[in-house]
Structure 1
Amino acid sequence: MDEEGMEEEEDGGSSTGYEAAMDDHNHNSWEAGAEPDQPRDLPLLPTKGGGLNVNTSASKFRELQRCYSPEPVMNVITVEDYKSTYWPKLNSAIDQLLTQSPGDYIPISYEQIYSCVYKCVCQQHSEQMYSDLMEKIADHLERVSKELRVSPQDLYIERFNLALGQYMGALQSIVPLFIYMNKFYIETKLNRDLREDLINLFTEHVAEKHIYSLMPLLLEAQSTPFQVTPSTMANIVKGLYTLRPEWVQLAPALFSKFIPNILPPAVESELQNYAAQDQKFQRDLMQNGFSRGDQSRKRAGEELTYYGSSTCAGSRGYR
């Protein structure tokens, strides 16, 4: 049969079958014995047998080759290959990104890391890669939390600000590097988003454990001019609001100085109520071991049960 006849037979007289196959392909559906799925906006790679994992004709395949210039056949990445070669490269890059200071130059190949992630996604290692990434970053944040716990009180606010800023800066690189894992595993299979998951890790492993140590110091610094720079105060307050908006309830007046429209318009008849709410908040803090200028700050998560059955307990799972 000549090539023209073969193409007509394979095309089936319409593009419906091709489009349906591409639709299944783009939804990341895995079939028994099929080649790994690949992102829609990346080149469709040939299978081991030389064809595509969609039902397309030889002419369409040649057209794809001309348009996308696909790579040679991708070698199979075994579980052992992933553990011994691919994940170590990713692990090292993540280490550097998590510990860099603002403005630092990181000597890593973003193209190489991006390629590693793409290949692992194509070869069905997304689940393991996601698990490894979350465990890696959780371990890092546990170390950050322990370092904050032993920080001198006069350095506590600055060190928390540094830890928060460093982590948020790292996410600006980490999230794009894992964009294909996010698009074709986390969003598709888990119905979540990588950035939100990583922000939740900081909330769980750092912010939740330190919020009741940090908040009294922020309130004290607010009442003492120049004790903390305005930029540091703004960064922390805005950061806490990003992590968990309902923390506004802990100190509405403080948050309202840096987050617009936090408080409703003031009503003169309610001024006494506003004052009473502030006094109640101060009493609640004192009842849980905090007093103005307290030099024996307790470790977060140990003695504190503040709002354990009300505000904060109710705020879990907010997102």
Structure 2
Amino acid sequence: MRTWASDSECATASVPGKTTLNINSAPKFLMNVMTTEDYKSTYWPKLEQAIDQLLTQSPVDYIPISYEQIYSCVYKCVCQQHSEMMYSDLKQKITTHLEQVSEDLQACPADKFIEKFNCFLTRYMAALESIVPIFIYMNKFYIETKLNRDLRDDLVRLFTDHVADKHVNTLMPLLLKAQSTPFQITPSTMASVVRGLYSLRPDWVQLAPALFCSFIPQIHPPVLQSELQHYAAQDRKLQMELIQNGFARGDQSRKRAGEDQANNVSSAPLPCSTSRSCR
């Protein structure tokens, strides 16, 4: 089993969306041996800075990253056989970030907890959409080949272990309470959190089957005919709750206004086109 990228593999690796990299045509300094000290003092700090930015930035304060430079940095580290150290540093960096996220959630008040969890989860998953491609060479030539794993799966598992697992017992009762009180939490936020939890660990469905069924289709067997009355009663209850919260079955005001306007028009005298026609 091959464990490291060979010279020929590194020489023909391609940066996503860029031209093929070739060591033979690269600047001479790329051929120099990278020591552990070089990696720690020069290469990893560049990667760490990019990771920090991707983990913490929001779409509002987005700052562009030179992905070509970062890809090349990872590529060089892989070819110089620093994949194991780079993988360890990456996991430790993200673990430290997620431990801080967990502490922030611990201090979050109950009425803001669901929204806060959703914010952290969606931001982290969005960050992975950039972090995983950055380390594509490490994933291909070290994680998949030597560890028989996948980088994205490993990083998603870190969020599960360091954040979701620690707070699911707090989060689930709040979600159930929000579900029983329509529009306490926006439907989009509820759906995002429930689907996110399911993607992290599908067996969490057992903690609240009815909650997950409301947002994730086909996670349970088809409804039996004997259960139809039960679901019909639940629908009627929901309709009553919506009416009590000011939501009518249909907005009749516009229709009535339209009908009144039509009636007024039909009952009004026809306008005079000329003074002669009015005589």
The question of a shared fold, defined as TM-score above 0.5 by the shorter chain, is answered with yes
1:41 corresponding residue in structure 2:
13
Check the 8 A contact 2:3/2:146 in 1, yes or no.
no
Compared with structure 1, are the counterparts of its residues 28 and 208 closer, same or farther at alpha carbon in structure 2 (3 Å cutoff)? closer
> RCO greater where, 1 or 2, for CA within 8 Å and sep 6 or more?
2
Compared with structure 1, are the counterparts of its residues 272 and 213 closer, same or farther at alpha carbon in structure 2 (3 Å cutoff)? farther
Corresponding residue SS for 2:188: helix
Check the 8 A contact 1:39/1:184 in 2, yes or no.
no
2:27 corresponding residue in structure 1:
72
Shift of 1:127: 0.2
Alignment root-mean-square deviation, CA: 2.3
Check the 8 A contact 1:28/1:37 in 2, yes or no.
no
Quick one: distance in 2 between partners of 1:122 and 1:104? Answer: 34
Quick one: distance in 2 between partners of 1:175 and 1:246? Answer: 25
Check the 8 A contact 2:46/2:70 in 1, yes or no.
yes
- Alignment of 1:233 onto 2:205: no
* Equivalent residue pairs, number: 223
Query: Which residue, out of 84, 88, 102, partners 1:127?
Result: 84
Quick one: distance in 2 between partners of 1:189 and 1:263? Answer: 37
Give 1 or 2: higher helix fraction.
2
2:40 corresponding residue in structure 1:
83
2:138 corresponding residue in structure 1:
181
Check the 8 A contact 2:98/2:162 in 1, yes or no.
yes
Compared with structure 1, are the counterparts of its residues 113 and 185 closer, same or farther at alpha carbon in structure 2 (3 Å cutoff)? same
Provide, for residues 29-76 of structure 1, a one-character-per-residue CA deviation record: whole Å limited to 9, x for no partner: 57xxx9696264344524xxxxxxxxxxxxxxxxxxxxxxx3134221
Give, as a single letter, the amino acid of the residue that structure 1 aligns with 2:193.
I
Compared with structure 1, are the counterparts of its residues 124 and 35 closer, same or farther at alpha carbon in structure 2 (3 Å cutoff)? same
Give, as a single letter, the amino acid of the residue that structure 1 aligns with 2:136.
I
Corresponding residue SS for 1:257: helix
Identity of aligned residues (%): 68
Corresponding residue SS for 2:221: coil
TM-score by length of 2: 0.74
Check the 8 A contact 1:218/1:233 in 2, yes or no.
yes
1:96 corresponding residue in structure 2:
53
TM-score by length of 1: 0.65
Query: Which residue, out of 217, 224, 228, partners 1:267?
Result: 224
Quick one: distance in 1 between partners of 2:106 and 2:93? Answer: 20
Task: Identify which range, 257-266 or 204-213, moves more after superposition.
Answer: 257-266
Structure 2 unaligned runs (5+)?
A: 15-20, 232-279
Give every structure 1 segment of 4 or more consecutive aligned residues whose post-TM-superposition deviation is greater than 6 Å: 271-274
- Alignment of 1:118 onto 2:118: no
Provide, for residues 102-123 of structure 1, a one-character-per-residue CA deviation record: whole Å limited to 9, x for no partner: 3542243111111110100010
Give, as a single letter, the amino acid of the residue that structure 1 aligns with 2:13.
D
